Amino acid sequence: MSRGGASPRRGVVARLTQGLALAVIFAILFVATRATPAFHGTSGTVAAVGFLLLAGTLASELLDALGVPHLTGYLLAGILAGPHALRLIDHASVEELTSVDTLALALIAMAGGAELDLESVKKGLKSLAFSTMLQTAVLAVGMVAAFMAARPLIPFARPLGFGALLGAGLLWSVLAMSRSPSATLGILAQTRAQGPLTRWTLTFVMSSDVVVVVLLAAALTVARVLIEPGATLSAKAFQALGHEIVGSVSLGTTLGLLLAAYLRLFAKGLPIVFVALGFGFTEVLRYLHFDPLLTFLVAGFVVQNLSRQGKTFLHAIERMGGVVYVVFFASAGAHLDLPLLAELWPVALLLAGSRAALSYGAARLSARVARDDAVVRRWSFAGLVSQAGLTLGLSATIEHEFPMLGAGFRALVLATVALNEMVGPIIFKLALDKAGESRPEERTSVVPEVAEAE
């Protein structure tokens, strides 16, 4: 009896200790930022990384007792510490932390590709094909309609003509199709889930991002004709699109083969390789006008399916990603513009709700047509709500390509993603628990050995 009562007491003591440690960390940084103005700058950025890592992991452990995903803890720690709440981390430090995003997205893409086992993809090809077609078609039509209907609530959209509004709606619909590989991998890492729903979600989310990257490139070409006066469709534009896709796949294949050879010859040094790829090679790809996400995703797929080094490769990514992803999501929380969210929440809620409803309907229909397992038919929509870094990266591309939409378009994306980012992981984790696929006895510790990744 005493043993049975000791465990709950130890759990309560552990939570109280973690809560006290979190409060002390916040207090120390609060005093430091107020008492020492020079604390900002380079020293502030270094301190911000350490603080977000500690605060994020402690917050995630505290919320874990309530069944809340670790990702939500990382985000909340970042929001609370960010420049729009307690201002423990200033705007300059938050912007400096965007370099972590580059590394995190490279790791996410490679991990996503490595998770796409060819045999599993073949087995679920029918379901994957139906889901991709229906999700794409339903969101393309539905989100264009929702965006145009919401025009009175969108400041930058009010002065647009019908053609330009249709073009902006087309771009918005492609963004709505994007999911969050990082949130998916993070929840699966935390729950150690296994089963039909887990396999379906993982395969769909990772493969759909390839589709989204291709669709956005095509949508940019078409939207330019609708938004910019005098612009016309040309063979040159589609030639550039083909160059980007083929070049990215080719480089990704080559990179995957090189990584497989490296893994076969050397057992150590992969973290350095990942850092070099995440920072240096990403810039090379952008200079060559290739897509980094598609390139790294293909590289991970090649290592997993064309070599025997897949498990070693994935394990190395997971060990390094465990730390990187905590900072990545806490930084994403710090980036959230709370005043902007308060201003745009009605239209952001409308668009996020429309996307969730359309995804739900398309998921139920495609699962029934493909005759998926009952658990997939019931819960497949749950992993499709989250959005994060990928969507924000795509929106930055749109902002660069269409200055006339500019800051207003990206601001609305930020507000909508903020809602999906907070709600999506909770829904997905709840679905895994209800489906009986979570394995809580095997969850990761505070500093996870396996990646706890929008």
The whole-number pLDDT of residue 6 equals: 53
Q: Which pLDDT tens digit goes with each residue over 251-305? A: 999 999 999 999 988 867 788 889 888 888 888 888 888 878 789 989 999 999 9
The whole-number pLDDT of residue 21 equals: 79
Q: Distance between CA 249 and CA 449 in Å, rounded?
A: 30
Give backbone dihedrals phi and psi of 321, rounded to 5 degrees, phi first.
-65, -25
C-beta pairs of 286-293 under 8 Å, 24+ apart in sequence: 288/247, 289/240, 289/243, 289/244, 289/247, 290/244, 290/247, 290/248, 290/251, 291/213, 291/217, 291/244, 291/245, 291/248, 292/105, 292/106, 292/109, 293/105, 293/109, 293/209, 293/213, 293/390, 293/393
Distances (CA, A) of 210 to 75, 271, 357: 26, 25, 23
The whole-number pLDDT of residue 449 equals: 36
State the number of CA atoms in the 13 A half-sphere of 344 facing the CB: 26
The whole-number pLDDT of residue 266 equals: 84
Which parts of the chain sit beneath pLDDT 70? 1-11, 34-45, 67, 230-238, 241, 267, 389, 406-407, 440-454
Q: Which CATH class is domain 98-442?
A: mainly alpha
Q: Supply the pTM of this predicted model.
A: 0.73
Query: What angle (nearest 5°) sits at the alpha carbon of residue 382, between those of residues 81 and 121?
Result: 115
The whole-number pLDDT of residue 344 equals: 82
Query: What angle (nearest 5°) sits at the alpha carbon of residue 343, between those of residues 338 and 349?
Result: 90
Q: Distance between CA 425 and CA 299 in Å, rounded?
A: 27
The whole-number pLDDT of residue 107 equals: 85
The whole-number pLDDT of residue 238 equals: 65
Burial class (CB in 10 A: 0-12, 13-18, 19+), 308: exposed
Q: What residue segments make up the domains of the chain, in order of their start? A: 2-96, 98-442
